[in-house]
Amino acid sequence: MKLSYVTNSIIIFSSLFATLFFSSCNSGENLSGYSASSNGLDYKIITDNKQSKAKVGDYVQYYSSIRTTKDSLIFSLKNAGSAEIGQVAAPKQKGDPIEILTLMGKGDSASCLISAETFFKGVQLPAPLKAGDKIKLDIKIVDVFAKADYDSKMVEIENQKVAMAEADALNYIKTNKLNAKRLSSGMYYIVENPGTGATPVNGKNVKVNYRGTLFNGTEFDSSLKPDRTPFEFVLGKGQVIKGWDQGIPLFKVGGKGKLIIPPAMGYGEQGQGSIPSNSWLVFDIEVLGVSDAPNKQGGMQMQ
């Protein structure tokens, strides 16, 4: 996710935060050490590594967390597993938390106070917060880099994500003792039965039964449910995810197996329904038939 500045992340994540529970409860507020900036932001520097401070226009890679003024944790981006990238901008209003980034450098950490109503704008305040309360936004800067270095930094981060995702796939394969083969696209497959019928080719109508799960075993879709029928689509026309267009031709009619599909060939960063963003997908596949494509327009979609 690319954010222009921290206040954007407040809006983007507020609906998620509103559903989370507090992890602890202290007896009283802890507001010691905060002071007001020239722009009216209440803040305090927790760690100062004496590095060059970020400037407007720079990009920062950071972790953030949200606490009540009694230090009850609402959300931690570090616990969620990935740092954000944001661009440092000039404050747009009094008390704008974006200002804190210009007071921090690589390795620094800080905390600032924000109105709960501002942070949870558009959603109901979660208990025990009430109108007039403040929350603590804690920031830990992982790295600071100039705008000119943004593209190369994003490539580096993307490569790190790919490597981590690949490690997850290999761990899944090892844990489940699968004899999987890897395609150059990064997709893995297991042929349990190659089949003896026709081979699916682009432009042909293909009928399949399938069951889709995540690495944790959660089922997100299946044509095998009592109220469902086999799924049909035209191969190679973009009517299904890329992993299917590439993986289904690995089986002939009567064939069965698994497709282990990386996020880029599935639903990517956007996710889909109950499928979280950047999820690997595991499909149990059985190819039932191959026929001429129907004479109709429009694509088909899995439910």
Inter-residue contact 260 to 280 (CB < 8 Å): yes
Q: Exactly one of 189, 267, 275, 285 is catalytic; name it.
A: 267
279, with CB counted inside 10 A (0-12, 13-18, 19+), is: buried
- Quick one: tokens of 300? 């088909």
Alpha helices, H only, the chain: 6-17, 77-80, 116-119, 150-175, 242-247
Q: Exactly one of 58, 96, 138, 221 is catalytic; name it.
A: 221
Q: Exactly one of 43, 63, 189, 283 is catalytic; name it.
A: 283
What is the C-alpha to C-alpha distance for residues 279 and 212, in angstroms, rounded to an integer? 12
Q: Exactly one of 66, 98, 141, 241 is catalytic; name it.
A: 241
- Quick one: tokens of 271? 């996710």
What is the C-alpha to C-alpha distance for residues 181 and 96, in angstroms, rounded to an integer? 51
What is the C-alpha to C-alpha distance for residues 43 and 55, in angstroms, rounded to an integer? 18
220 is annotated as an active-site residue: yes
What is the C-alpha to C-alpha distance for residues 66 and 45, in angstroms, rounded to an integer? 16
241 is annotated as an active-site residue: yes
221 is annotated as an active-site residue: yes
270, with CB counted inside 10 A (0-12, 13-18, 19+), is: exposed
Query: Nearest-CA neighbor of 21 among 129, 138, 134, 140?
Result: 129
Residue 104 DSSP label: -
Q: Cα-flanking dihedrals φ and ψ of residue 59, to 5°? A: -115, 145
Q: Exactly one of 210, 231, 233, 251 is catalytic; name it.
A: 210
168 is annotated as an active-site residue: no
Q: Exactly one of 220, 231, 233, 251 is catalytic; name it.
A: 220
- Show which residues are catalytic: 210, 220-221, 241, 267, 283
